[in-house]
């Protein structure tokens, strides 16, 4: 029987940066009260219909840490912390209001259009970010072949997973977007093609946040 590897990427709950217009990476202040409620709603979904995850990874940024720490007891898994699942690293723009960032670092808004431009001094370019995500997802999938891996991460990482799985360049992001709601799940399954048995990644779920139907938005 051919092994089937599954990656389910889970976006963190609503963070302060999401609602306050602050550009955050290492300065992340974590989840809002609503963000915690969103994660608790996902946790209740897992309690009522337990998923068969074998491994749990999470970004070490606070908003993802808080999300993973709520989910881990229900999943019965130890969290494997991974720095390279971070959101785009914004360097010297970290912790600044968006309006201040765009005034001080005009290249910030050009970062997705010019994928080789770093968004701020000591930050990443979109190309560097997506390459980091691709390396990390490939490593996780390779290290856990045949397993179902849950990955608590960020919206940018989920978008980057599409570029990785579809073998698209970072520049594809100038034409298409793959947004995900807070605590939404996106699942990639690597399986053998029914036609020629080559290995291929198939998207079986994206932006699944049905557990938020009863959470105040």
pLDDT given for residue 111 in this prediction: 84
Report the pLDDT value the prediction gives residue 2, as an integer from 0 to 100: 65
CA dist 6 and 196 (Å) reads 20
Mean pLDDT rounded to a whole number for the chain: 95
Q: Burial of 27 by CB count in 10 Å (0-12 exposed, 13-18 middle, 19+ buried)?
A: middle
- Global pTM reads 0.95
Q: Which residue in this structure is represented by tokens 């491994």?
A: 55
Closest CA to 112 of 96, 130, 94: 130
Tell me the pLDDT tens digit for each residue of 19-45. 999 999 999 999 999 999 999 999 999
User: What is the average pLDDT across 1-7?
Assistant: 83
pLDDT one-digit tens code per residue, 40-84: 999 999 999 999 999 999 999 999 999 999 999 999 999 999 999
- pLDDT computed for residue 88 by the predictor: 97
Q: Is CATH 3.40.50.1240 the classification given to domain 5-212?
A: yes
Instruction: Say whether pLDDT at 174 is over 90.
Output: no
Whether the Cβ atoms of residue 10 and residue 152 lie closer than 8 Å to each other: yes
Supply the pLDDT for residue 193.
Answer: 78
Q: Is 29 exposed, middle or buried (0-12, 13-18, 19+ CB in 10 A)?
A: middle
pLDDT of 173: 86
DSSP string, 161-203: HHHHHTT--GGGGGT------TT-EEEEEEEE-TTT--EEEEE
CA distances from 64 to 71, 81, 146, 176 (A): 11, 10, 25, 25
Q: Which residue did the predictor score with more confidence, 214 or 135?
A: 135
Q: Give the mean pLDDT of 117-143.
A: 97
- Using the predicted structure, report yes or no on whether residue 1 has a pLDDT greater than 60: no
């Amino acid at each position: 029987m051919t092994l089937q590897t599954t990656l389910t990427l889970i976006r963190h709950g609503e963070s302060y940066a999401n609602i306050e217009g602050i550009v955050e990476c290492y300065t992340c202040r974590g989840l809002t009260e609503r963000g915690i409620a969103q994660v608790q709603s996902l946790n209740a979904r897992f309690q009522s219909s337990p998923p068969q995850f074998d491994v749990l990874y999470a970004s070490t940024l606070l908003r993802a840490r808080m999300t993973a720490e709520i989910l881990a007891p229900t999943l019965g898994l130890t969290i494997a912390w991974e720095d390279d699942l971070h959101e785009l690293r914004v360097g010297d723009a970290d912790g600044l209001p968006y309006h201040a960032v765009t005034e001080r670092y005009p290249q910030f808004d050009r970062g997705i259009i010019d994928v080789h431009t770093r968004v701020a001094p000591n930050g990443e370019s979109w190309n560097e970010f997506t390459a980091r995500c691709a390396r990390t997802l490939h490593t996780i999938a390779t290290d856990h072949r045949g397993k179902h891996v849950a990955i608590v991460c960020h919206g940018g990482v989920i978008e980057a997973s599409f570029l990785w799985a579809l073998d698209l360049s970072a520049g594809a992001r100038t034409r298409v977007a793959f947004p995900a709601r807070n605590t939404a799940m996106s699942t990639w399954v690597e399986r053998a093609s029914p036609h020629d048995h080559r290995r291929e990644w198939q998207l079986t779920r994206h932006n699944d946040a049905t557990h938020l139907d009863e959470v105040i938005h």
